[in-house]
Structure 1
Amino acid sequence: MQKFTKLTGVAAPLPMVNIDTDMIIPKQFLKTIKRTGLGKNLFDEMRYDSDGKEKPDFVLNKPAYRKSQILVAGANFGCGSSREHAPWALLDFGIRCVISTSFADIFYNNCFKNGILPIKVSQEDLDKLFDDANRGANATITVDLEAQEIRGPDGGVVKFEIDPFRKKCLLEGLDDIGLTLQQASAIDSFESSQRTGQPWLYR
């Protein structure tokens, strides 16, 4: 998993509440188990019309936000079904950080497992960040995970809280497999001991 330390990029504003996982990546795109290739269908029904043409008014179709790495969104982001394809689609598009006042629990947990930083802030701070994000190409903000700060284009700072263990995992790029592999020597030692003491388990 890619480490998350400090990210500076254009923040795209999506001031909608209750953006569910079917809006993030519609059900017809869940046939794959690959984590790549889903970015082109991120927010598919909002980004494209029935003929597959881009809707020019949708934020990620606007020139200033096409390469956004940060998304500023309304409350209860990621609600709905518990599809891991939702963070996969965000990550494949290039979004590494989502900022909101609240997230659905399963989506929130899935973000950390896939190298995306979901940040919870107050409504007052979110309003400030929406103001920053609405500046188009000038909507560049910096997210510093180590310092737990979001720095706006005018020098304003928003502090945020995060679970220390999840912070450590993101800083070191450790997903569940990576955490397990850190115990590889202990696992090998156990298996060697078990193979000697209970050899019938390995026949």
Structure 2
Amino acid sequence: MKKFGGPALFLDRSDINTDEIIPAKYLTEITKEDLKPYLLEDLKLPGFDPKSEKTYGAGAVVTRANFGCGSSREHAPWVFEVNGINVVIAQSFARIFRQNMFNCGMAAIELSPEKIDQLFTYAGAADAAIEVDVANTTLTIKGGGREESMQFEISPFDKALVLAGGWVDYADSKY
């Protein structure tokens, strides 16, 4: 079974849009792999370096509300996918971005503001990592000598998409 999560990248801002996730000037690239070096290139956050090892070594992103707003491009989830990030955890997502994540076999997990705040208490831990068990709808965060788990909700259909590896694999197994 596919593993979800890994080292955590914390992006402490709401309304991060698809142009900040992958700038529009790269949308003419031919393959998903061609998008890889441009992950979060235009995201401006204090102390954030889009070219850092922390960014390119991440397996999970924790952020605030309305993540993935802006255009409906699939390139935004793709750039995470080619960089090994298969989980984004936020208070809320733009509807199309969230569905594009599921369609690509990636987890878009919505949590309450209180739970997001709990996760952000790990942001200062250099070893912060998140493991997600999609089948059992639990996530575990570890770092700085601490560990805690929490439940999340996902619709049965979206869970099936993620567990199948995305829409194409799901359709191949059903039709």
TM-score range, shorter chain: 0.7 to 0.9
Q: Is the 8 A contact 1:98 1:118 kept in 2?
A: yes
Give the corresponding residue for 2:139: 150
Q: Which residue among 129, 138, 144 is the counterpart of 1:140? A: 129
Give the corresponding residue for 1:32: 29
Moved runs in structure 1, 4+ residues, more than 6 A?
Answer: none
Larger relative CO (CA 8 A, sep 6+): 1 or 2?
1
Larger helix percent:
1
State the one-letter code of the partner of 1:123.
Answer: P
Q: Larger Rg: 1 or 2?
A: 1
Q: Is the 8 A contact 1:133 1:140 kept in 2?
A: no
Give 5+ residue unaligned stretches, structure 1. Answer: 48-54, 185-203
**3-state DSSP of counterpart to 1:13:** strand
State the one-letter code of the partner of 2:87.
Answer: C
Give the corresponding residue for 2:155: 163
The RMSD of aligned alpha carbons is 2.2
Instruction: State, as a whole percentage, how many aligned pairs show the same letter.
Output: 36
Question: For the structure 1 residues 64 and 89, does the alpha-carbon distance in structure 2 shift closer, same or farther, using more than 3 Å as the test?
Answer: closer
Q: Is the 8 A contact 2:15 2:67 kept in 1?
A: yes
Could you state the TM-score of these two structures normalised by the residue count of structure 1? 0.76
Question: For the structure 1 residues 166 and 145, does the alpha-carbon distance in structure 2 shift closer, same or farther, using more than 3 Å as the test?
Answer: same
**3-state DSSP of counterpart to 1:155:** strand
**Is 1:180 aligned to residue 171 of structure 2?**
yes
Give 5+ residue unaligned stretches, structure 2. Answer: none
Q: What is the CA deviation profile of residues 3-22 of structure 1, one whole-angstrom value per residue up to 9, with x for unaligned ones?
A: 64x43511111011100101
Give the corresponding residue for 1:187: none
Distance 2:98 2:128 in 1: 24
**Is 1:41 aligned to residue 44 of structure 2?**
no
Question: For the structure 1 residues 7 and 121, does the alpha-carbon distance in structure 2 shift closer, same or farther, using more than 3 Å as the test?
Answer: same
**Is 1:127 aligned to residue 124 of structure 2?**
no
Residue 76 of structure 1 and its aligned partner are, at CA, apart by 0.2
Distance 2:74 2:5 in 1: 25
Q: Which residue among 23, 26, 39 is the counterpart of 2:20? A: 23
**3-state DSSP of counterpart to 1:142:** strand
Larger strand percent:
2
**3-state DSSP of counterpart to 2:100:** helix
Name the count of aligned residue pairs.
172
Distance 1:46 1:33 in 2: 23
**3-state DSSP of counterpart to 1:75:** coil
